[in-house]
Every structure is written in structure tokens, then in C-alpha cells.
Amino acid sequence: MAQRKRRKFSAEFKADCVKLVRSGARTIAQVTREFDLTEGSLRDWVQRAEAEGTPSQDALTTAERTELAELRKRVKRLEMDKEILRKAAAFFAKENT
């Protein structure tokens, strides 16, 4: 089976597709056939919309994902700083003895 070329969709288009599914007007399969989408993509869009609409324990909103990524970068940076300081302290401790 030939691989499909990657396409980008606007946020408005995604929201419209999600509305069709969530309103019960059409099933995921019907929307994917009508707009030539993959079921996996549409399911992801629906899950993200549900996560952002009603917070649950295992689903993160887009804002939370962004914040989590930033915090992970910051933690990594702080761990590197700590490691540098630890090595510097060990170096100077050896030098003084």
C-alpha cells in the first residue's frame, strides 16, 4: 500500500470535523471517507478536543503539554548545572589537599 503524503489541516477544519463526530451527526468512519482523512488522525483530534473540554486524569490539554515540555527542558538544564557545579567542587577540593 502506497504511503500517503503528509498534509496539514487548519485548526478550524479539525474543529469542524470533531463537531460532526461529537454531535452524533456522523460516525468517525463517515467523516474520514467524506473528507479523505485517516481514522487515526480523526480519532486523535476527537480525543484532544475531549481532553481540552473536560479534564481527566490521563489526558493533558495542549497548554499542559506545552508547559510540561518547557518544565522538562528546565529540569534538564538545572541537572546539567548541578553536575557542572558538583564536578567543579570536586576539582577544587582535590586542589586544596
In order of 27, 69, 87, 89, 90, the CA distances from 95 in angstroms are: 72, 40, 12, 10, 9
How confident is the model at residue 54, as a pLDDT?
Answer: 56
**What pLDDT score was predicted for residue 81?**
97
What residue spans define the domains of the chain?
8-59, 62-97
Work out the number of other CB atoms within 10 angstroms of the CB of residue 51. 17
Give tens-digit pLDDT for 7-61. 898 888 998 999 999 888 889 999 999 999 999 999 999 988 887 775 545 567 7
Give the model's confidence band at 64: pLDDT under 50 very low, under 70 low, under 90 confident, else very high.
confident
Annotation: CATH topology of 8-59 = Arc Repressor Mutant, subunit A (1.10.10)
Provide the grid cell at 73: 527542558
Question: Burial code of 27-48, b = ≥16 C-beta within 10 A, e = fewer?
Answer: ebeebbeeeebeeeebeebbeb
Of 64 and 13, more confident:
13
pLDDT at 59: 65
